[in-house]
């Protein structure tokens, strides 16, 4: 009988195996319950290990400051209305293209033109070709506007040169109405000059520049100030 009882017992090794298996199952169940209960907290912890990259959207109204020999001029650009023009202009700014250039044409009560010539009156070669003319964007050539220079006979010919409006010039610098049957491409003189921003500080500086005595030689630089006005640099600044 003793032998029969001993024979009915499970082998010691089998008993040892059954105990930890049950414990393991209970442990797995406990961990699963804990994970389900703390799911949101654990997910937050996991996300904190890999912080989300924040992609900043470009400012549709970036600001730049012209540091000139007569004072600073702050301009707010309008990338919503003139995206191609603003991008092109800011590339020239970021590359330092406008550093040590001059306002080479000053027409009192009309416009001040710059962005293309050095103090030695040599034109700076532009690293890129002309851009698309966005003159039909609804912005007007009014006092304080900044717009792109272009060839009167070529619609898409703007590169680096720009001008400031000293008065309301919308009557002849904005797109002009066409007659029935006319195509705008056939009349580049009616296409207008693209406005891409406005002066928000320093209009008094532009007024001081506008009253400078200019050359009356009748040459290419007939409206060149006799005492040069230098654009020392142009830089991006935080929007006000």
* % residues pLDDT > 90 (the chain): 67
On whether both 13 and 106 belong to a single domain, the answer is no
Give the span between the Cα atoms of 223 and 157, in whole angstroms.
22
Boundaries of domain holding 233: 63-237
Residue 57 located in a structural domain: no
**Is residue 42 scored above 60 in pLDDT?**
no
Residue 56 located in a structural domain: no
Residue 58 located in a structural domain: no
Q: Are 232 and 67 in contact (CB under 8 A)?
A: yes
pTM of this structure: 0.76
β-strand partners of 237: 63
Neighbours of 123 (CB within 10 A): 13
Using one digit for the tens of pLDDT, what is the confidence trace for 163-221?
999 999 999 999 999 888 888 788 999 999 999 999 999 999 999 999 999 988 778 89
What is the number of domains present in the chain? Answer: 2
Residue 203 located in a structural domain: yes
Q: Work out the average pLDDT over 60-70.
A: 97
Residue 152 maps to which CATH number?
2.40.100.10
* % residues pLDDT > 70 (the chain): 79
On whether both 204 and 117 belong to a single domain, the answer is yes
């Amino acid at each position: 009988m003793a032998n029969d009882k001993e024979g009915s017992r499970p082998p010691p090794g089998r008993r040892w195996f059954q105990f930890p298996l049950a414990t393991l199952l209970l442990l797995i169940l406990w961990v699963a319950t804990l994970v389900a209960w703390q799911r949101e907290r654990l997910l937050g912890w996991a996300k904190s290990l890999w912080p989300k990259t924040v992609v900043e959207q470009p400012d549709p109204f970036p600001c730049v400051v012209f540091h000139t020999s007569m004072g600073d001029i702050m301009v707010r650009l309008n990338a919503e209305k003139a995206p191609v023009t603003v991008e092109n202009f800011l590339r020239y700014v970021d590359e330092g293209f406008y550093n040590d250039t001059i306002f080479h044409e000053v027409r009192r009560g009309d416009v001040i033109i710059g962005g293309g010539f050095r103090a030695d009156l040599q034109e700076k070669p532009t690293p890129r070709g002309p851009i698309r003319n966005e003159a039909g964007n609804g912005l007007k050539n009014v006092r304080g506007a900044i717009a792109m220079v272009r060839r009167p006979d070529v619609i898409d010919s703007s590169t680096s040169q720009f001008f400031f409006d000293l008065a309301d010039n919308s009557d002849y610098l904005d797109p002009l109405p066409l007659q029935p049957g006319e195509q705008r491409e056939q009349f580049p003189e009616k296409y207008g000059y693209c406005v891409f921003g406005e002066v928000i500080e320093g209009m008094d500086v532009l007024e001081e520049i506008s009253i400078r005595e200019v050359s009356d030689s009748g040459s290419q630089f007939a409206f060149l100030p006799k005492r040069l006005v230098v654009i020392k640099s142009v830089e991006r600044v935080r929007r006000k």
